[in-house]
Amino acid sequence: MVTREQELVRTVVYKHPEALEDVQTHYCPGCTHGIAHRLIAEVVDELGIQDRTISVSPVGCAVFAYEYFDLDGVEAAHGRAPAMATGLKRVWPDRVVFTYQGDGDLAAIGTAEIMHAAARGENITVIFINNAIYGMTGGQMAPTSLPGQRTKSSPMGRDVKIAGYPLRMSELLADMDGAAYVVRRSLHSVREIRKAKKAIRTAFMTQISGLGFSMVELLSSCPTNWGFSPPDALKWVEENMVPYYPLGDYKVIEAVKALE
């Protein structure tokens, strides 16, 4: 007879995801990219789609994301990941294609590409990392930097009279008829990370079911460029970003609800 203890030992409750390479990443200590990568890899494993998934990496801190996913992948020009994903998906309609994009990539230089991918109902999944700053270039103001936020290119704090206002991309994209699933989650706590994973799963399921454009926006931290310790950075996400970028479901069409 198998004892309760033996049963527990035999049950794997946590392991390195198959879809994630066992390598050291170049991300800074405390950065949430690693968490986002892991969640995606876990979902790919759970859905059994590693052999038919294609990643599209951005220009930005995640430019080498393809080195960390054990998946076929391409590296797009800055902001063009949704266009590149469109090309891939249209000629491989039975593959799963996702983009991984930061805020400068998706909400500044690539705004046209993301809006039109959503408007076309392009059957791709977008993971949008919003950390309110340009990370790779060393901490300049992002389209999503908060009013008053100090960055290397808004040293006195983002003055909306000069620099305008942040973009709320989930709200904007939810308005597109082609968007099937658009939600905002956060990576600042274990509870929120669990919710984020569930959303990523639903987004991939949306694509696999052919229901149209799906995007999960993930509020993320950048301790290095914000100049905070990793715990303080997570606190900053919760206290400053979440009020400006409310978490929630911005678009969930009926057919997607049926999947959940």
Strand partners, 184: 217, 248
Strand partners, 219: 130, 186
88 makes contact with another protein (CB under 8 A) = yes
Site for another protein in 16-75 (CB under 8 A): 50-54, 56-57, 63-64, 66-67, 70-75
Q: Which of 25, 28, 116, 253 binds another protein (CB under 8 A)?
A: 116
219 makes contact with another protein (CB under 8 A) = no
**What token pair was written down for 21?**
């390479």
Which is nearer to another protein, 80 or 168 (by Cβ)?
A: 80
In angstroms, the Cα distances linking 113 to 83, 117, 135 are 6, 6, 21
Shortest Å distance, C-beta 85 to another protein: 6
Q: Return the number of other C-beta atoms located less than 10 Å from residue 49's C-beta.
A: 17
Three-state SS at 222: coil
Secondary-structure percent of the chain, ordered helix, strand, coil, rounded to 5: 45, 20, 40
Shortest Å distance, C-beta 34 to another protein: 19
E strands present in 40-155: 53-57, 72-75, 96-102, 125-130
Q: Cβ(90)–Cβ(117) under 8 Å?
A: no
Shortest Å distance, C-beta 234 to another protein: 30
118 makes contact with another protein (CB under 8 A) = no
98 makes contact with another protein (CB under 8 A) = no
Q: Which of 42, 103, 113, 217 binds another protein (CB under 8 A)?
A: 113
170 makes contact with another protein (CB under 8 A) = no
Where do contacts with another protein occur on this chain (CB under 8 A)?
Answer: 50-54, 56-57, 63-64, 66-67, 70-77, 80, 83-92, 95-96, 112-113, 115-116, 120
